[in-house]
């Protein structure tokens, strides 16, 4: 998924075109997918009318085809169009965000392995470190104090922060998106593909994610990603070379 506008990042270009350590977010994301070895075909949803990201896809293609389709007005619509753009006969699909450009290849491998072991749906996730509160709007009488108040505190040990790639049996995901197209108000509040198949009664399994798979949404996220890339480069540098970089 690379069709996001990137408004919150503030660069005035699609988010996947933003440069991180000399390469676009899309290039970083494609590198990880290809390095994982799980892909038979990669289809990238890009903004309507895009040429720059489409050209990146063409350059990345090799033994694994990398194609582009125009995304839609919502994430769900973009995923649906990308599914239609995949070659027929695939038994599993991984849905990934270009905004999680630094996701390590082994996360893709873990998702793929869980699908191969029989899961219909599997997502990478991390335990939540923060205490999380649920909130409700304050009453008119309480508005003089604040706009919201706490309605509950979920048990932190059971909470997980979800990442991508999210993996699915191909038929299961396609059926879920066909249902979504006709669901109308029943589809309200569905924020990712895992939640979509949950609504369809499918068990979603969890595998370990990675702290490096942060979603780059704000300028602070981009600065954090720059630091991660710099650390990777230092770790990969031959002995004695680091001081020359």
pLDDT given at position 240: 57
Which domains does the chain possess? 15-244 (3.90.550.10)
Query: What distance in Å separates the CA atoms of residue 136 and residue 195, rounded to the nearest whole number?
Result: 22
Sign of the four-CA dihedral 62, 217, 71, 169: positive
pLDDT of residue 243: 46
**Mean pLDDT in order along the chain per 10 residues (245 residues):** 80 89 95 95 95 95 94 89 92 96 97 97 97 97 97 96 97 92 69 92 97 94 94 76 48
pLDDT value at position 97?
96
Find the DSSP H helices in the chain.
25-36, 52-60, 75-85, 105-116, 170-183, 193-199, 219-236
47, HSE (Cβ side, Cα atoms, 13 Å)? 14
The per-residue pLDDT for 186 is 60
Looking at residue 239, what is its pLDDT? 58
Burial of residue 220 (CB within 10 Å: 0-12, 13-18, 19+) is exposed
Burial of 138 (0-12, 13-18, 19+ CB in 10 A): middle
Question: What pLDDT, on the 0 to 100 scale, is given for residue 143?
Answer: 96
Tell whether pTM > 0.85. Answer: yes
């Amino acid at each position: 998924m690379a069709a996001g506008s990137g408004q919150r990042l503030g660069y005035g270009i699609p988010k996947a075109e933003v440069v991180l350590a000399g390469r676009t977010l899309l290039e970083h994301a494609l590198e990880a997918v290809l390095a994982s070895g799980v892909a038979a075909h990669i289809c990238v949803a890009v903004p309507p009318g895009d040429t720059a990201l489409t050209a990146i896809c063409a350059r990345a293609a090799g033994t694994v085809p990398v194609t582009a389709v125009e995304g839609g007005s919502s994430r769900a619509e973009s995923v649906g169009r990308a599914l239609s753009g995949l070659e027929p006969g695939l038994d599993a699909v991984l849905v990934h965000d270009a905004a999680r450009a630094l996701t390590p290849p082994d996360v893709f491998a873990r998702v793929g392995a869980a699908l191969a072991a029989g899961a219909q749906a599997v997502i990478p996730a991390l335990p939540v470190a923060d205490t999380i509160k649920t909130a409700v709007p304050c009453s008119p009488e309480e508005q003089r104090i604040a706009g919201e108040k706490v309605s509950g505190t979920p048990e932190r040990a059971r909470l997980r922060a979800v990442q991508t790639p999210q993996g699915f049996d191909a038929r299961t995901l396609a059926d879920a998106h066909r249902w979504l197209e006709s669901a109308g108000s029943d589809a309200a509040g569905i924020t990712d593909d895992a939640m979509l198949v949950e609504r369809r009664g499918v068990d979603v399994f969890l595998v370990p994610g990675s702290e490096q798979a942060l979603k780059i949404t704000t300028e602070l996220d981009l600065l954090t990603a720059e630091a991660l890339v710099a650390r990777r480069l230092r770790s990969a540098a031959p002995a004695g070379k680091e001081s020359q970089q």
